Structure formats: structure tokens, C-alpha cells
Chains A and B, each alone.
Chain A
């Protein structure tokens, strides 16, 4: 292995890729044909209405595929956001004679703001809170629609809704809506491959790991939620223009459930699934009209369908189809192995990369970590050891920002990071792995490592283009010996290899300090040897490592400096061999008689 030197710059063999718009041209050609069909085919009024409803609903369901499918957050108020757009267009054009376009824009902005505000109040908590708060929000919006008669005309609804001058006929308006659907569909389809989309998937798969990899989890969720809301608003605005009449019952909680069912039935992960689900759930009730004669019956069937889909077809119809097709699809080519991995840890601070002083973390009365000082010298491997329950992992969690320190100060390369959340610490140069592996399980090894490479503040990815990120990620994967398997899903890797992917993810980010949380745990003896080799190769590139482990052979051979904790306090610190012979350390590990 050649030692990388700073004056040899990597030759950027960034593969040129065809521009996105050209690669995706078939989509746009197809969409143009569909729009032309919608504009020219002669439909009768009934078919036109069904198509209009399907088109506008599909836009709202696309929103759910972003928030629920991509980001894993629930929204049970999509009908309310749909209503924002619809009422903005309805009231604006019918009561105040404002331009349709202005009203549509206003509806989208209102939905966006409402979505963002609602998200800000709850997304930090997520999960159950979000479900309940969105249901409550939905109920409030319905209450306002019914009771604020001066504005919304109450239960009577709003009629005589205007359309833009350009699309006065129902047919042309439908074509316009289909064109909007195609645009939104393109956006939603392309989103997962963008930085934001990857961040959303990372948040869905593993929030803690996403934060530690430098993703602002809270903001990513708000973006997802706001995108969902704005698509709801857009769909609703188009809907109002299409049907010329809106009333509160069209935007009730029941409709939110209809949207959810559409999304789940088709497959929440993809816009194609959304379109299938929407189409089916608009057509089926039309075929089974007799069900509508009994109030409640068809919603009861929807409720039952939700339970059955979740149980038997969790990925929806489209997920089911793609799983079947995957066997026939040709495997995507594994990108080139890339250049040998370069690590260029930042050097802004002094001799110490990490200076921890008086660090404490108390859980109620339990002092898990108490008044601990650690100084990690630049370059080399520093180990933090201690018997079980001595506070090692707690220390690491405080260092990476998963826990807030009760007291003390943490300086990373001269920057005070004590109060920063995890993603800002990552941006400041901190990388880490987890004792119980935290990878993004729905993604390939390559995608996992690309997310690492995307760390804000990574200086080795040029402008951060897709090709440069892939190159960097491939170098990191090849560095740990898994380059040829880059496109495989995480679940197909052994435990030991998953650890290596986690290390590659951290290395791709080019951190200033790498925290390894028990990297040897669960590895067999040959894997441990490989790990030891890997640590040496990392350290040879000048990256500082702070490692926690129980394996004394690994620690004593790899680390030059050791800090020992016991009962949350530092009991020894210094050069490896001296520390391991320290009587307090010996008695902490072996006990005293």
C-alpha cells in the first residue's frame, strides 16, 4: 500500500454522465402524449369527472408517498391540506373574483405554511404524537370549514368556482391538470435519488444514524411534511377548479383515510404505486355503486382493507409487482472501484483533536459519567476502556451529541461542540460507528456510504455532484474490501461486513476524529485480525481514532494511549502499557481480594 502524500492530488476521473433531462426524456415524451390524449380525446361528462378526480387525488397521494413512503412519517390530515388549496381557489375566485393562478398559489402557500408549522410542533417527537396531532388538526380544519360561515359559507359549501381563462373548457382543464400531475410525478419519482430524498430515506431507516452522518433529521422531516402538504394543496386547488363546487364533507377525516388507503394499496414507496392506488380506489367504488347506498359501508371496507394490506401486502400492489420483476431485471453495474481512499483530516486546532473537560452525564440520580477528562492527541489511536457499566458508551453518546452533557466541555479540533446536535458535530468533523450496527437497511451498501460522503464540510467531494459522491463512496468501500459488492442490499451482508460498511460510511465523510464503539464485538478471530489491519491503515493516513472495546489484545496492540473509566469516573490515563499495568486498572478488571 502506497502512503498517500499531500502533494499527490487525486486525478479526478469523475465519469461524465448524460444530463438528467436527456436521460429522463422518455418520461417527458410519454407524459406529453398522455396530456395530448387528455386534451383531444372526447370523453363524456361522467368519464371526465372521474378522470378529473383521479388526477387531482393522485397529486395529493404523491404527497403521502413522500412523507410516509420516503420519510416514514405519518400524515392523517392530507384531506385538510387538500381543503386548503380547494377553499383558497373556491373562495378567491367565487367570492372575491381574484385570479385563479393567484388563488392556486395562495392555496399552496397556505398548505405549505400550515404543514411546516404543524410539523415543527410535533416532528421532533414523531410517531404516535404525529398521528394524533394530524388527526386533531384535521378535525379542527373541518370544524372551521363548517362553523366559519362568514368565510366558508359553512355546510352549504362554495359554488361557481372559476377556472383560468386559458382552460375554460372541462377538457382543456383536465389536460392542464394531467400536465401538473406529470410534473409532480416527475419530481416525486426523481426525489429519492437526490440529496434531500436520500436524507429522507436515511431518516426513515434509522434516525440516530442519520443524525450522526450529518443529516439534520428534524429539518428533513419538516421538508417531507411540507412537501406533502403543498402537494395536497395543489391537488385541492386543481380539484376545486375542476368541479366548480366544494363543501366541508369533501375534506373530512374520512377523506384523509381514503388518501391513506390509496397510498397503502398502491404501494407507499413509489409514485407509480400512488397512481395505481388512486386509480383503483376511484374506479372500484364507481363499479360497486350499490355499496354507497348504505352509509358507512364502503368506508368500513376501506378500514378493513387497510388492516389486510398492512398485514398481507405491506409494500402495496406496486411493491408486490416490483418484487416479482426484480428477478428478471438486469443488475445495475457496480461503479469502478475508484481511487485509493484519501483521508485528509482537518487540522485547525492545536495538538489535541479532542479535549474533554469535566464531562458529566446524570440520569436522574445515576451518575453514568462523572467529571471525566479525556485528551486525544492528533494522529494515532486512543482507547477508552472500562468494565461493563463503566460509562464508556454513555461517554461516546455524549461526545456525538445523542445525549446532552449534564456538565463539562467538549472541544473538537478547537471548536466547542458541547451543545451541538449530532448533525452539527458531524459537520464539525466527528464520525462514529455504533456498537449495535446502525445502517440504513433499505439501501445498498453504496447508498449508505454515499450518505456518509455527503457530510456537510467534507472537502474531498468537489462540488458534491452525484458522480463525485459515488467515486468517494466507492473508494471508501474498496478501502474496507467491499467495493465489488457495492450494489447489494445491507441485509445480504454478514455481521462483520456490516461493521465494515459502517466504518466505510464514516471514512467516506473524511472526519477529523473517528469514534469506534466496540468495533470488535461479535467478530470472529479472523475478522478481528482484519479489523486490526484496517485500523492500522486508517491511522497510517493520519486520521485520529478514539476506540472503545473489550478486546484487550486489540486495544493493547492498536492504541498508543488509553483512558480507563470505572463507575463513570476516570481511574487511569496514559501510555498503553503503563496504564494496563496500573494497579487500579488491574483491580477494576480482575477484582481485588
Chain B
């Protein structure tokens, strides 16, 4: 029982990271109707930026954090202009292939610069954690959970109670109508990419002290996050969060009770089970193309 509680805590922590990346997926999908296959690389690049600023340049942690996020905002903008925007009128297949190309480009550019050796990034807090009854609460996991909760609350407020948020919603629901109402659709898509890159970057920075900072972390996180969006229901914000958390928990328990080397396979298994038996996910509705 104690072990189960401990695993539950760890699972929620890791699941929160998946949820953050999944949110990035969902936001871009709702704005552009394509899945950004480079979403996971945003996390990887941000973690490496942290290594550059906090370890190599030995800047203060908070400053490195802000600089990394600024870097991610820039990357999101460049990504939109270089990868998505030129293809915005094409069908989804070329677009997803281009985002896959971008993902390969980002991962291997970092590999070419930093080499295959994983890097180490310290956590934000000096104290490693606190003991609460039978459960040891690692400070980094606590930070992840707190940060995710704050971000979700912020996002809710942003989309429901600010004008930019409303415009973003309008854009994702009907681009033509939005532009007729004077909303600059291309600006809104730009905002979405920047926000999603920052979100993915945040997830990468938060999770980096738990995992090693490596080239592979991007694709691993992206696969889990994508599975999370399908479990929750594609395109659904609440679904992405619930899906991410459940996947983190399933995976942690699977690794503890079934097999460690195949830890990464559980997400795939859950993904396929959902695709076969409930492709609309927990919250999604089955949608049919209109004739």
C-alpha cells in the first residue's frame, strides 16, 4: 500500500509533464487542425537551453529559466514561419511530414552540437524533498504538480476571460468567420505556436532534473503526450490533462509491477487499446466528416 501511494505520487508528477506537452498538442491542433510532431522537441530544446544557461554559463537559475522560455518563444515563432505557415493551405499530410522533418532537424542539430552524452540539470530547490507519512515527496515532483496546476488555471482564465483568449477560440472554431470579424488569423496562429512552444519548453525544463537531458527525451515525451491526448479525447483540453495524468500513473505502476525495460511500451499499448475500442477517447465525441 505504501509503495502504491509512492507510485501514485510519482505517476501524477510524471503525468503532469505529459499533460503539459499534450496541452501544447491540443492548442496547436485546435488552431491549425494539424498535429505538431515536433512538440516534444520543444521540451528537449528548452532543457538544453537550461543546460547552456544554468550549467555552461553558470547564470542564476531563475534567469536561465526566463532566458530559456524567451528562447522557446522565439523558436515557436521561427517554427511557425519556417514550417507551418508556408504550408497552411496544403492538406494535412504535407504539414505533418514537415513537422516530422522539423523534429528530426531539431533533435539532430542538438546532437551535432552537444554530442550523444546526456547532460545533467539540477533541480530548482536545494532540499531534495519531504517525508509525508509513508510517502516521500520529491521537491521536483511537487514543483511539477504545482506548476501544472497553476498553468491549467492560468490557461482557463486566459481563454475564457481575456480578449486574446476569446480571439484564439474564435480562430480555432472558424477561421473564415474570425477573419471576417477583423481578427488577424495569422497573428492568432503565431500566438498559438509561441504559447505552445513555451508550454512544451516549460515541461522540458521541469522534467529535466528527473530524467537526464538527452536527445531522445523529446520523442519519448511527444509519444506519451500524444497517447495522452487520444486517451482524453482528441482536441479536448480537460481530456489532455486527465489523459496525461492517467498515462503517467499507468506507466509508473507498469514499470514497478511488470517490466522496467518495456516501460515506454505501456503508453503504446494503452494507445492502441483506446484506438481500437474507444477512438473518441474519454471525453471526445465521435465526429464524422460532413458531406
Contacts and interface: CB of A to CB of B under 8 A. Distances in A.
Interface of A: 72, 74, 76, 121-122, 124-125, 127-129, 131-133, 135-137, 139-140, 143, 147, 207-208, 253-254, 257, 260, 264, 294-297, 299-300, 302-307, 310-311, 314, 364, 393, 396-397, 400, 402-403, 434-436, 438, 517
B184 interface: no
A136 B112 contact: no
B94 interface: yes
Given A76-B100, A402-B291, A307 B105 contact: yes
Contact of B111 (A128, A136, A253, A295): A295
Contact of A311 (B87, B103, B289): B87
Contact of B268 (A131, A137, A295, A299): A137
Nearest to B110: A296
B101 interface: yes
B285 interface: yes
A305 B101 contact: yes
Interface string B131-142: 000000000000
A364 B285 contact: yes
22 contacts: A74-B93, A74-B97, A122-B272, A128-B96, A131-B35, A131-B100, A132-B37, A133-B275, A136-B268, A137-B268, A140-B265, A147-B262, A257-B104, A295-B111, A296-B116, A303-B105, A306-B97, A307-B83, A307-B102, A311-B86, A314-B90, A435-B291
Given A135-B223, A208-B289, A434-B291, A303 B103 contact: yes
B279 interface: yes
B219 interface: yes
Interface in B238-291: 261-262, 264-265, 267-268, 271-272, 275-276, 279, 285, 288-289, 291
Given A128-B96, A143-B262, A304 B115 contact: no
A306 B98 contact: yes
Contacts of B97: 74, 260, 264, 306, 310
A136 B276 contact: no
Given A295-B115, A310-B87, A143 B264 contact: yes
Which of A140, A393, A434 has the most chain B CB within a 10 Å cutoff?
A: A140
Contacts of B215: 296
B128 interface: no
A136 B271 contact: yes
Given A208-B291, A402-B288, 11 more contacts: A139-B223, A143-B261, A143-B262, A207-B289, A264-B97, A300-B104, A300-B108, A302-B108, A307-B102, A310-B97, A311-B86
Given A302-B104, A307-B105, A128 B92 contact: yes
Interface of B: 34-35, 37, 82-83, 86-87, 90, 92-94, 96-98, 100-112, 115-116, 215, 219, 223, 226-227, 230, 261-262, 264-265, 267-268, 271-272, 275-276, 279, 285, 288-289, 291
A436 B290 CA distance: 10
Nearest to A432: B291
A147 B263 CA distance: 12
A136 B223 contact: yes
Contact of A299 (B86, B100, B104, B116): B104
B106 to A, nearest CB: 8
A399 B100 CA distance: 40
A438 B87 CA distance: 23
A295 B112 contact: yes
Which of A121, A393, A403 has the most chain B CB within a 10 Å cutoff?
A: A121
Given A125-B279, A129-B275, A299-B104, A310 B98 contact: yes
B193 to A, nearest CB: 15
A254 B100 CA distance: 11
Contacts of A299: 104, 107-108, 111
Nearest to A147: B261
Contacts of A257: 100, 104
A417 B94 CA distance: 37
A140 B268 contact: yes
A362 to B, nearest CB: 12
A313 to B, nearest CB: 11
The 4 closest A-B pairs by CB, nearest first: A306-B101, A296-B111, A303-B105, A303-B104
Nearest to B105: A303
Contacts of A122: 272, 275
Contacts of B108: 296-297, 299-300, 302-303
A401 to B, nearest CB: 11
B236 to A, nearest CB: 15
A132 B288 contact: no
A132 B267 CA distance: 12
A125 B280 CA distance: 10
Which of A302, A307, A402, A438 has the most chain B CB within a 10 Å cutoff?
A: A307
Given A143-B261, A208-B291, A306-B97, A127 B104 contact: no
Nearest to A396: B291
B246 to A, nearest CB: 17
B37 A131 contact: yes
B38 to A, nearest CB: 10
B291 A393 contact: yes
Contacts of A133: 268, 271-272, 275
Which of A295, A296, A393 has the most chain B CB within a 10 Å cutoff?
A: A296
A314 B226 CA distance: 27
B259 to A, nearest CB: 9
B98 A307 contact: yes
Which of A132, A297, A306, A436 has the most chain B CB within a 10 Å cutoff?
A: A132
B219 A253 contact: yes
A75 to B, nearest CB: 12
Contacts of A307: 82-83, 98, 101-102, 105
Contacts of A295: 111-112, 115-116
A346 B5 CA distance: 68
Contacts of B115: 295
A294 B108 CA distance: 10
B243 to A, nearest CB: 13
A306 B100 CA distance: 8
A245 to B, nearest CB: 22
Nearest to A304: B105
B275 A128 contact: no
Nearest to A257: B104
B3 to A, nearest CB: 24
Which of A72, A143, A435 has the most chain B CB within a 10 Å cutoff?
A: A143
A311 B230 contact: no
B291 to A, nearest CB: 5
A296 B112 contact: yes
Given A121-B276, A122-B275, A295-B112, A136 B105 contact: no
Contacts of B288: 402-403
A547 to B, nearest CB: 16
B101 A304 contact: yes
Contacts of B105: 300, 303-304, 306-307
Contacts of A127: 92-93, 96
Given A133-B271, A311-B87, A72 B98 contact: no
B109 A300 contact: yes
Given A128-B34, A296-B108, A310 B116 contact: no
Contacts of A143: 261-262, 264-265
Contacts of A139: 219, 223, 264, 268
A397 B285 CA distance: 19
B95 to A, nearest CB: 8
A131 B96 contact: yes
B230 to A, nearest CB: 7
A306 B115 CA distance: 23
Contacts of A303: 101-108
Given A74-B97, A303-B104, A310-B101, A129 B230 contact: yes
Contacts of B230: 129, 132
A180 to B, nearest CB: 28
Nearest to B97: A310
